[in-house]
């Protein structure tokens, strides 16, 4: 029986696409792709792949959004939640209930937060990279699962460096999911 995944994404969907493309190899069923952004290209990509989508926008009440995200994900009974470019901090009751991983464009604990690539360039590091980590109730503070280094090349700007990191991330997220699936408690 396939593992059930829920993907959370806010943007273009390149990470979600990598996971979708590996569905057969990973023996996973992607129950739904949920976005906080109704205009996110990831929604169209998921629909084109035959995967249901939902939008849960953050409105006037962050508390109400927190309740909605927990309820919507719980309805799908996931074995794993994959945050793939999801630009929202998940509430503590969410991450305490659902095993959730995130991919971040730095070698955590270096450069947490929304501007990791810019921060790495500003610090003039020679090497940065990407990290897949368990999500806790902090900002990029959960335990590291896997990491891969990406060199900072002369002349790199935020866009060129981030694009090279994204290429590495697509392979790393799939490999990490394959690594951790056998360790998960199944929700049959």
Active site residues: 104
Contacts of 180 (CB under 8 A, 6+ apart): 80, 101, 145
Q: Which residues of 69-105 are buried (b: 16+ CB within 10 A; e: fewer)?
A: bbeebeebebbbbbbbbbebebbeebbeebbbbbbbb
Q: Which of 75, 73, 89, 82 is nearest to 140 (CA)?
A: 89
3-state secondary structure of 25: helix
Q: What are phi and psi of 133, to 5 degrees?
A: -140, 160
């Amino acid at each position: 029986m396939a593992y059930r995944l829920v993907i959370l994404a806010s943007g273009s969907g390149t990470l979600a696409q990598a996971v979708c493309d590996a569905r057969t190899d990973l023996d996973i069923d992607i129950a739904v792709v949920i976005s906080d952004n109704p205009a996110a290209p990831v929604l169209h990509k998921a629909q084109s792949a035959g995967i249901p989508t939902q939008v849960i926008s953050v409105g006037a009440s962050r508390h109400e959004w927190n309740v909605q995200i927990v309820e919507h994900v719980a309805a799908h009974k996931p074995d794993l939640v994959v945050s793939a470019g999801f630009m929202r901090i998940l509430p503590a009751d969410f991450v305490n209930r659902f095993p959730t991983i995130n991919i971040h464009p730095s070698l955590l604990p270096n450069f947490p937060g929304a501007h990791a690539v810019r921060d790495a360039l500003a610090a003039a590091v020679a090497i940065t990279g990407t990290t897949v980590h368990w999500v806790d109730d902090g900002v990029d503070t959960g335990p590291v699962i896997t990491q891969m280094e990406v060199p900072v090349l002369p002349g790199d700007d935020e866009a060129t460096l981030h694009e090279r990191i994204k290429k590495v991330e697509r392979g790393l997220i799939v490999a990490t999911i394959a690594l951790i699936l056998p360790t998960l408690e199944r929700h049959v």
